[in-house]
Amino acid sequence: MISRLLQRLAGLGLLLTLASTATANTSTSETAAGASAVRQGAPYLLNVCVISGRRLPADGGVAMILEGPADGMQTGREIRVCCKTCEGRFLKDPAKYIPKIDELIIADQMPRYPTDLNCVVMEAKSLPNPTGPEARECTLVVYKNRLVRLCCTRCNRRFESDPAKYIAKLDAAAIEAQKARYPLTTCVVSGGNLRSSGPWFMIGDRAVTTCCGGCKGRAMKNPRAAVAKLDAAKKPEAKKTDT
């Protein structure tokens, strides 16, 4: 059923991406058909249901993994809604709701986008400041729940040909930018003190570090919980800036 719906979505020309951390950043969720499927790319970290407008429940609500051809642009994308009723409404007309989800993701991730990162495809091309009034005056791509900013539409084709390559560049820049203002001194999983040797990695567009590789794996399995701890620990000045 989902595969047929994805054929309808293909006509929208929507772009979505496989993250460079795809192996680690992968979990198994239940599709609407009840079969397990593997998430590709970033987890769905929004806290709102795009159908009802309500906040997602504490457990993350109903998770769907879009299925389709192995190289499908939507294949493996995680979507979450608040309840089974909203799941049915989404599956009835996904083309109606995916652009709305993309818009929410753009609004959510734009303030955290690395300010000094040029186009990841044509690296010599600068982009407007993502926190400034001209932030959207470039090509915005939401690829499997991750915002990517490009200098022009021509770069879309090159991006699609090797998304992992370009997401790796974005990840490296995001980690470097977010390290300085990381709000925690303890591991998001164990609660133990962080170590200088601890791994840095991405959960969605969020840089995360843990005390060890084992905790990294646990954080990847429950990404929403890890990000919730980051949000709860935001520095007071960061909270003011966000309001």
CA torsion sign, 27 to 208 to 231 to 133? negative
- Tell me, what's the pLDDT at 38? 85
- 66 and 149 housed in the same domain: yes
What are the CA-CA distances from residue 5 to residues 92, 114, 141, 184 (Å)? 8, 34, 21, 42
- 69 and 149 housed in the same domain: yes
- 75 and 139 housed in the same domain: yes
Last residue of a domain, one of 174, 207, 229: 174
- 211 and 166 housed in the same domain: no
Number of domains in the chain: 2
Last residue of a domain, one of 174, 190, 217: 174
- 124 and 75 housed in the same domain: yes
- 45 and 148 housed in the same domain: yes
Strands (E) located in the chain:
28-30, 36-38, 62-65, 78-81, 139-142, 147-150, 200-203, 206-209
CA torsion sign, 192 to 195 to 199 to 205? positive
- 110 and 220 housed in the same domain: no
- 187 and 130 housed in the same domain: no
In the block, which residue shows the tokens 């239940």?
Answer: 30
Q: What are phi and psi of 74, to 5 degrees?
A: -100, -10
- Tell me, what's the pLDDT at 75? 81
- 169 and 210 housed in the same domain: no
Task: Confirm if 182 and 32 have CB atoms less than 8 A apart.
Answer: no
d(CA 227, CA 198): 17
- 39 and 86 housed in the same domain: yes
d(CA 219, CA 159): 28
Per-residue pLDDT tens digits of the chain, which is 243 residues long: 333 344 444 444 333 322 222 223 333 344 444 446 788 999 999 999 999 999 999 999 999 998 876 666 678 999 999 999 999 999 999 989 999 999 999 999 999 999 999 999 999 999 999 999 999 999 999 999 999 999 999 999 999 889 999 999 999 999 999 999 999 999 999 999 999 999 999 999 999 999 999 999 999 999 999 999 999 987 554 444 444
Last residue of a domain, one of 174, 193, 226: 174
- Tell me, what's the pLDDT at 113? 98
Question: CB-side exposure of 124: number of CA atoms within 13 Å?
Answer: 0
d(CA 201, CA 90): 31
Host domain of residue 19: 1-174
- 222 and 162 housed in the same domain: no
The reply to whether the predicted model has a pTM over 0.85 is no
- 159 and 190 housed in the same domain: no
